[in-house]
């Protein structure tokens, strides 16, 4: 059980920007860019490495939502979509999610 599960279940409020039956997206509480959204498959999956092959279609869903939100938030010319897998990579919430970052020139390099 994670904070994101509570958000999905409506027990914890969020600044929601998208929801359908399989994915929810909301604003990150500690934004690292002018636009910082989290795109979260509702199914409880710990991280990318734990994604079972039958759930791979969820990644397509996430990308579709990212494209739509990038348009909506007017960052389609430059954004980053990323996931942190494991604490060594900076993962702090162990429910699969993708950061959609944009709204300024993003730093060179990935790490």
**Looking at beta carbons only, is 12 or 63 nearer to ligand AMP?**
12
What track of x and - describes contact with ligand AMP for positions 27 through 56 (by CB under 6 A)? -xxx-------x------------------
Pairing of strands 79-82, 16-19: unpaired
CA dihedral 71, 110, 15, 13 (to 10 degrees): 150
Q: How far apart are CA 66 and CA 60, in angstroms?
A: 10
**Per CB under 6 A, 10 contacts ligand AMP:** no
- Residue numbers of the site for ligand AMP (CB under 6 A)? 3, 12, 14, 26, 28-30, 38, 84, 90-93
Which residues are annotated as catalytic?
A: 97
């Amino acid at each position: 059980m994670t904070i994101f599960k509570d958000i999905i279940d409506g027990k914890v409020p969020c600044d929601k920007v998208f929801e359908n039956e399989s994915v929810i997206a909301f604003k990150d509480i500690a934004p690292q860019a002018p636009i910082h959204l989290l795109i979260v498959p509702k199914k409880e999956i710990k991280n990318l490495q734990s994604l079972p092959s039958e759930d791979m279609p969820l990644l397509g869903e996430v990308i579709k939502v990212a494209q739509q939100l990038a348009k909506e938030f007017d960052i389609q010319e430059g954004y980053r979509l990323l996931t942190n897998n494991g604490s060594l990579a900076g993962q702090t919430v162990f429910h699969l999610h993708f950061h959609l970052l944009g709204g300024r020139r993003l730093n060179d390099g990935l790490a």
